[in-house]
């Protein structure tokens, strides 16, 4: 069954004082495009998360957002002991300072540049990696589930439009053989009317030659056959349960269907067929619109 490209999924978890929330939104796009929004502490996992998403979602504009709040010990800032030691060493080397009686304010030292640094990044990433891997997969499952539900609605709509095309095409195919006969009759009547004033009559061989040219020029049997074949292939694809993305193939087929319909409209000038082909083209246009949302 086909799937839509529109979907939303969310997953959250708490782990030892840390809160993780992953949201995945999917919209229409001709190709796969992922935008990942991570808090600064988790930027090191960006490429891994994008890779995980690309393996689950094949097409669409994907926006993945991670919210992270950490109240665990890992979130505490760290004292850079080497930087602090360097500051103390420099103070001890200042000759004007009485190293025996002078009291050093440790609180003031902690405000010096590079003495206080953020919590250990690698520790945060190592703890977050398996959790986010699981949450990303769960959020993607939610997107896929919603895409499947949307796909069921698209499946019904596309089948309706395809049936409309098939019905009109059947009417066109049944009328096409009579078009040449009607043309021959009208042509004979018109020529006889023009020649009646001079007492002449149309020769059968001349009439046959003219009708043969018209029949060759207006023959739409091949276009009808190809359009019917495209419709059958289209139906087989949207009914398939292989789980493979089908949007691009369906888009190509709908373009081919419209091309055949345009050729029929250009070759056959019969009024009834012209009305039917207008309906066919309208239905194919609506198919093309709907196919843009198929994964």
**Span 191-240, pLDDT tens digits:** 555 555 555 555 556 555 654 555 556 677 888 899 999 999 999 999 99
Residues 264 and 163 in one domain: yes
Residue 75 to residue 284: CA distance in whole angstroms: 58
- Look at residue 1 and tell me if it is in a domain: no
- The average pLDDT across 29-52 equals 91
pLDDT tops 60 at residue 23: yes
Q: Give me the phi and psi of 96, to 5 degrees please.
A: -75, -10
The two structure tokens encoding residue 74: 């890992």
Q: Within 13 Å, how many C-alpha atoms sit on residue 273's CB side?
A: 26
**Span 228-271, pLDDT tens digits:** 999 999 999 999 988 788 999 999 999 999 999 998 888 777 78
Residues 140 and 199 in one domain: no
Residues 141 and 194 in one domain: no
Residues 181 and 279 in one domain: yes
Report the CATH number that the domain containing residue 260 is assigned in CATH: 1.20.140
The predicted structure's pLDDT at residue 239: 92
Residues 275 and 165 in one domain: yes
pLDDT tops 60 at residue 175: yes
Contact 11, 52 (CB under 8 A): no
- Look at residue 12 and tell me if it is in a domain: yes
- Look at residue 28 and tell me if it is in a domain: yes
Residues 142 and 154 in one domain: no
Residue 295 to residue 293: CA distance in whole angstroms: 6
Residue 242 to residue 271: CA distance in whole angstroms: 43
Residue 171 to residue 157: CA distance in whole angstroms: 22
Residues 56 and 165 in one domain: no
Residue 102 to residue 118: CA distance in whole angstroms: 31
Q: Which of 102, 133, 148 is the last residue of a domain?
A: 148
The range of the structural domain enclosing residue 42 comes to: 7-74+120-148
- Look at residue 2 and tell me if it is in a domain: no
For the chain, the domain total comes to 3
The predicted structure's pLDDT at residue 198: 58
Residues 60 and 167 in one domain: no
State pTM to two decimals. 0.69
Report the CATH number that the domain containing residue 19 is assigned in CATH: 3.30.230
Residues 229 and 244 in one domain: yes
- Look at residue 231 and tell me if it is in a domain: yes
Residues 163 and 189 in one domain: yes
Backbone CA torsion sign across 210, 212, 217, 218: positive
- Give CA separation, 51 vs 27, 64, 146, 222, in Å: 18, 12, 21, 47
Residues 283 and 165 in one domain: yes
Residues 42 and 163 in one domain: no
């Amino acid at each position: 069954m086909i799937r839509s490209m529109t979907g939303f999924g969310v997953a959250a978890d708490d782990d030892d004082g840390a809160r993780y929330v992953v949201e995945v939104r999917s919209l229409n796009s001709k190709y796969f495009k992922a935008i990942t929004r991570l808090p600064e502490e988790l930027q090191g996992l960006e490429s891994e998360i994008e890779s995980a998403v690309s393996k689950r979602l094949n097409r669409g504009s994907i926006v993945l957002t991670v919210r992270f709040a950490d109240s665990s010990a890992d979130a505490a800032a760290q004292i850079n002991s080497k930087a602090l030691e360097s500051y103390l060493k420099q103070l001890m080397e200042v000759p004007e300072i009485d190293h025996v009686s002078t009291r050093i304010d440790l609180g003031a030292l902690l405000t010096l540049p590079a003495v206080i640094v953020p919590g250990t990044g690698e520790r945060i990433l190592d703890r977050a990696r398996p959790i986010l891997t699981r949450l990303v997969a769960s959020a993607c499952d939610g997107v896929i589930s919603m895409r499947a539900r949307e796909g069921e609605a698209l499946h019904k709509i596309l089948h309706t439009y395809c049936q409309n095309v098939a019905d009109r095409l059947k009417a066109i195919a049944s009328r096409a053989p009579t078009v040449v006969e009607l043309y021959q009759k009208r042509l004979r009547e018109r020529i006889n009317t023009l020649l009646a004033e001079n007492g002449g009559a149309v020769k059968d061989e001349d009439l046959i030659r003219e009708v043969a040219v018209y029949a060759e020029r207006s023959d739409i049997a091949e276009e009808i056959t190809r359009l019917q074949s495209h419709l059958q292939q289209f139906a087989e694809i949207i009914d398939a349960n292989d789980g493979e993305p089908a949007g691009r193939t369906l888009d190509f087929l709908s373009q081919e269907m419209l091309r055949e319909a345009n050729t029929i409209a250009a070759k056959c000038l019969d009024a009834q067929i012209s009305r039917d082909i207008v309906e066919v083209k309208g239905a194919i246009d609506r198919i093309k619109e709907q196919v843009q949302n198929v994964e």
